[in-house]
Structure 1
Amino acid sequence: MTLRTTAVFSAVTLALSGCGTLNTVLRDDQAATRELRKQKTYCQSIPRVYSGLAFDFCRLNAPPDYTGVLVPLVLVDLAASGIADTVVLPYTIYQQSALGNMGIYWQQRRS
C-alpha cells in the first residue's frame, strides 16, 4: 500500500468510527448517548429519525473544542450521516414510533 492509500483508508476508518448514523442506529441507546455525555453536549435528547444528523449537531452543541479537530470532522460527517440516515429511514421511523427519542441524560436524572 502506498502512503496515500493508507492515509485515505485511515481517514475513512476514522470518519466511520465517528459517524453519527452508525453511533445511533447500530449501537444501543446507552452507548450512543454516552458519547454525547462525554462531550458535555447541551442537547437533552435526539430523535431516532435522522439521528445521525442530530448526533452530529449535538456534538457541535457542546463546549468549544480548543484542539480544532472536532469541528472539521463533524462537518464532513454531516454529509455522510445525511445520506446514511436517508437509507435507514424506514427503520428509524419504526423505531421512533415504538421507542420515541433517545434521552441523553436519562441515567443522571434517575439517580
Structure 2
Amino acid sequence: MSRRAVLLGVCFLVLSGCGTAVTVLQDDAEAARALRKQKTYCQSIPRVYSGLAYDFCVLNAPPDPTGILVPLVLLDLTLSGAFDTVVLPYTLYRQSTDGNIRIYWRPGRG
C-alpha cells in the first residue's frame, strides 16, 4: 500500500469523526442519530459552530469505558473550531432559516 493511500485513509477517518463534517456535510437526521448513539444528554445543537457543539455533546454523555474517546474529541475540538470558522457564512444562513439541529424530538416542539 502506498504512503499516499495510507495518508488518504487517515484523512478520511479524521474527517468522518470531525464534528463539523458530521453536522455540516451530513443531513440533520444523520448528525442527530450519531449523537443519540453516543447517548448524549444534549437536546439540540446550534448550526453556528456546530462542530464544537457536537464535540461538547459527545463529552456530555456517559463515560466511554475504553478511555479512547476523550483524547480524540479533544483533538477534534481544535479541528472543528477551525473548520467551523471557515463554514461560518453557510452555517449562519442555515441557522437563520432552519434553526437548531434537534437531537431528541419532543412532542409539542414541532
Instruction: Report the TM-score, using the length of structure 2 for normalisation.
Output: 0.88
Counterpart Cα distance in 2 of 1:22 and 1:10 = 16
Counterpart Cα distance in 1 of 2:98 and 2:8 = 36
Query: Could you tell me which residue of structure 1 aligns to residue 49 of structure 2?
Result: 50
Q: How many residues align?
A: 105
Q: CA deviation at 1:66?
A: 0.9
Identity level (%): 68
Q: Is the 8 A contact 1:24 1:51 kept in 2?
A: yes
Query: Could you tell me which residue of structure 2 aligns to residue 70 of structure 1?
Result: 69
Report 1:1-111 matches (<5 A).
1=2, 6=6, 9-106=8-105, 109-110=106-107
Counterpart Cα distance in 2 of 1:98 and 1:10 = 35
* Superposed CA offset, 1:44-100 (max 9, x none): 110000000000000000000010111111111111100000000000000001011
Q: Is the 8 A contact 1:15 1:73 kept in 2?
A: no
> Structure 1: which 5+ residue stretches go unaligned?
none
> Structure 2: which 5+ residue stretches go unaligned?
none
Cα separation, partners in 2 of 1:52 and 1:70, compared to 1, 3 Å:
same
Counterpart Cα distance in 2 of 1:70 and 1:10 = 19
Instruction: Report the TM-score, using the length of structure 1 for normalisation.
Output: 0.87
Q: CA deviation at 1:12?
A: 3.0
Q: Which amino acid aligns with 1:31?
A: E
